[in-house]
Structure 1
């Protein structure tokens, strides 16, 4: 090799083609799936939420003062009612009035109170008295305001029998030995008294 000359440079490394760009189809598909799932979940959630907001029972929503009701199932604390003719043998309740709130109850200890919501923040309470006449019998295992009474034939299946009705709200209208129903204590002499309409229903254990 002549002096002053460098040796021959080694050949360059082979050039490989740049890596192919991965197709965005898989990523896009995955992304679309996520979006669809999220949208689907949102739709389901929205429907569920709406159903929760507008959950008022149709019979309760459509009822007016003076309508008669019966429990729609056999739950001792049923919150579902249907409107029936007041002369029907199973017409256990009569609507006294409605409040424009689902909180606060009915202002009396003997009302059956059915609270319903019509939106996230609003609703109403249906306040019902017993639909009773002297001689009627009822079956009830939990007292008002949540326990549901059913009108039944007098006999072994009855809890109490109506013996007197007085047109005033008076704890002593039936006598000093009558007590208001409380919890599961529904035996003996009971008085169901209501301020609106003013009425006291006197019952004895059937």
Structure 2
């Protein structure tokens, strides 16, 4: 004995199962793509990054609280493919099997009183001021202003200016 409408119920159940499988397939692929990314590559705009070990091809980095002294960079932009970052930004690219999985544009997030190592190949890294690799010390950080003339010409040995968000870093010798 057949009940009236069972064919419609079976079709409805099969349709719901098909939709559920499709949703799982799409979200599963997205989850697998994100699973292959490092914690740094999963960072969002406004997050901060610590450079543990700099390298031109295989840097060791980790997300960190922006208030931490080791928060060397702040994420300014996030892309899925290689993109030109602004002049004052540092690029971070993560690849897997020859393809870009994440591309971040990073802006300096130096702390006043902290010392950093600067390398043309690997960017900036937080270091102890007594360390021989210390390149400079941030003697003054001025938020909301992008003007190197805010640095004292008598004591500053350099500066870094970030136009967005406007920030001026006055630099001195790490030994001072």
Do both proteins adopt the same fold according to a TM-score greater than 0.5, normalized to the shorter chain?
yes
**TM superposition score normalised by structure 1:** 0.53
Alignment of 1:1-206 (within 5 A): 57-75=37-55, 78-99=58-79, 101-104=81-84, 106-109=85-88, 111-117=89-95, 124-140=102-118, 142-143=119-120, 146-157=121-132, 158-166=134-142, 167-174=144-151, 189-206=157-174
- Taking structure 1 as reference, are residues 112 and 73 closer, same or farther at Cα in structure 2, changes over 3 Å only? same
Deviation at 1:163?
1.2
Q: Distance in 1 between matches of 2:124 and 2:36?
A: 21
* Aligned residue pair count: 140
Deviation (angstroms), 1:135: 0.8
Deviation at 1:94, TM superposition (A): 1.9
Between the aligned partners of 2:92 and 2:55, the Cα distance in structure 1 is: 14
**2:41 aligned counterpart, secondary structure:** helix
Runs (5+) with no aligned partner, structure 2: 1-32
Secondary structure (helix, strand or coil) at the match of 1:169 reads coil
Distance 1:177 1:128 in 2: 30
Unaligned runs of 5+ in 1: 1-52, 179-187
Q: Highest Rg: 1 or 2? A: 1
- How big is the shift at 1:63? 0.3
| TM-score after normalising by structure 2 | 0.60
Q: CA RMSD in A?
A: 3.5
More strand by share: 2
Measured after TM superposition, the shift of residue 161 of structure 1 is 0.5
The CA deviation at 1:197 is 1.2
